Amino acid sequence: MYLKSKSMSKKIIGSIILLINSIVLTTVCITGCGTTKLEDFSYSIENNVVIIKGYLGNDTNIIIPDKIEGSKVTTIGEEAFVDNDVIETIEIPDSVTTLEEAAIHHCENLSAITMSDSLFNTYIDENGEFSYTIYGCPNLYINGVLMDAKYGRNKPRVLKQD
């Protein structure tokens, strides 16, 4: 009888722990899992496309939406993400086809940017150097490639893919 009781107690305790974990994870996701608040972006809509002009929030992990007000986000504008020490990661959607000059720079804690391979390859020259759209972010990886902190150049030279 004692063994059955002990086994039953372990099962009950295990179930309670799983329930608590589910509640905690659900609460975390409700308060900020997966998306960045739309009101944290400044943007303009021109000819039915969106240009991200800036970021006003304080999230560490930014996910740029692919659409805003029903229009496709296609451009990260000049100095949209600048001098921000809070941002750690930026996820750029496949809908973005243009990074304006100095779109992302001097974000000291920015460690990773993900973007489509097409967008990445657009801004890598034949010497494997990234254009001056993203620079001045120490220890930055773009699509898994370590960039030179001072100039925004790849440490491992990447040739433009055709």
**Separation CA 77–CA 104 (nearest Å):** 9
Cβ atoms of 110 and 140 closer than 8 Å: yes
What are 58-73's pLDDT values in tens digits? 999 999 999 999 999 9
C-beta of residue 104 within 8 angstroms of C-beta of residue 87: no
Run of H or E residues at 105: strand 104-105
| Residue 53 CB partners (closer than 8 Å, separation 6+) | 41, 42, 43, 44, 77, 80
Mean pLDDT of 87-96: 97
Residue-averaged pLDDT of the chain: 78
CA angle 154, 149, 32 (to 5 degrees): 100
Q: Domain ranges for the chain, please list them.
A: 1-33, 38-146
What's the CA gap between 134 and 78, in Å, rounded?
10
pTM: 0.72
Select the more confidently predicted residue: 16 or 88. 88
Tokens describing residue 12: 């009950």
Q: Model confidence at 141, in pLDDT bands (50, 70, 90)?
A: confident
Q: What is the CATH number of domain 38-146?
A: 3.80.10.10
Measured CA to CA, the distance from residue 131 to residue 153 in angstroms comes to 8
Q: Which residues contact 79 (CB under 8 A, 6 or more apart)?
A: 54, 102, 103, 105
